[in-house]
Amino acid sequence: MRAALAAAVIASCGSAPAPRPPVLEGVGQLVTAVIDDWDATRATLRLWHRDGGTWVADGEPWQAVIGSGAAWGAGLHGRGAPAGRKGPVKREGDGRSPAGAFALRAAYGYADKPPAGTKLGYTAVDASWQCVDDAKSAHYAQILDRRTTKPDWRSAEQMHRDDALYTWVIDVAHNAERTPAAGSCIFLHVWAGPDTTTIGCTAMPEPQLAHLLARLDPARHPSYVLLTRADYAALAAPWGLPAQ
């Protein structure tokens, strides 16, 4: 009788949802960024690679700067704060760098060719290339060439700036679904110095970014994790993060 009742309940409710795969499943290279707290503007970065099931540090850690603090973004971990964690949520124009786990996509830069050894897809940009940050645009959160796209936006980031900050750029797949106003145009790029901040990106010395470009391999699904120190400690086991 109990077995029949259980079968009836399963039939009426449907099968249980499939469990969510691990956040870093399939990721073979990882850049970690750890900050002291949600309002910190300096981060410690490190590159890792998987050796079997073990994370191995690829070189020494280095310093970087972020925006006016951090806030939970939308990425491989889902959208907003993971279960049991707290903190602000990333919104367009808040100046905060997105926290969470994110795939690393294509590279962009001023030079005709990227640093030697670069495997990520690379696009050399000029003044016509922009990243749309107008949440009302159909092209929100896209990097594109104005010469091949009819503009419907009122604001956008210039991908070829008048300074050296975008000499090299790695596109961080934050808000990959392009949810309006959830945040756009998040990059790893060159910093203006150790005492500066960004408007939501992560910035570092040019030689370090060039080295990173030469090491990342799209076949290994490189990803980026930015977390506060407390959240990193709490999520290290469930996310399978390397020990800091």
Return the number of other C-beta atoms located less than 10 Å from residue 10's C-beta: 11
By C-alpha distance, which of 102, 106, 103 is closest to 119? 106
- Whole-number pLDDT of residue 20: 55
Does residue 12 lie in a domain region?
no
- Whole-number pLDDT of residue 244: 83
In tens, the pLDDT along 65-94 reads: 999 999 999 999 999 999 999 999 999 999
Which two three-digit tokens encode residue 86?
A: 């707290």
Question: How far does CA 157 lie from the centroid of its chain?
Answer: 17
Do the Cβ atoms of 222 and 31 come closer than 8 Å? yes
Q: Give the burial class of 169: count Cβ atoms within 10 A of its Cβ; 0-12 exposed, 13-18 middle, 19 or more buried.
A: buried
Does residue 83 lie in a domain region?
yes
Does residue 77 lie in a domain region?
yes
* Single pTM value for the model: 0.91
Beta strands 29-35 and 156-158, pairing class: unpaired
- Whole-number pLDDT of residue 53: 87
Which two three-digit tokens encode residue 200?
A: 């939501």
Does residue 153 lie in a domain region?
yes
Structural domain count, the chain: 1
Does residue 47 lie in a domain region?
yes
By C-alpha distance, which of 207, 14, 238, 12 is closest to 115? 207
Task: Tell me phi and psi for residue 179, to 5 degrees.
Answer: -65, 125
In what helix (H) or strand (E) does residue 170 lie, and over which residues does it extend? strand 168-172
Residue 42's domain spans which residues?
26-239
| pLDDT tens sequence for the chain (244 residues) | 444 434 443 333 455 444 556 899 999 999 999 999 999 999 999 999 999 889 999 999 999 999 999 999 999 999 999 999 999 999 999 999 999 999 999 999 999 999 999 999 999 999 999 999 999 999 999 999 999 999 999 999 999 999 999 999 999 999 999 999 999 999 999 999 999 999 999 999 999 999 999 999 999 999 999 999 999 999 999 999 999 8
Does residue 186 lie in a domain region?
yes
* Site of tokens 């604001």: 155
- Whole-number pLDDT of residue 108: 98
Does residue 115 lie in a domain region?
yes
Does residue 15 lie in a domain region?
no
CA–CA separation, 56 vs 227, rounded Å? Answer: 19
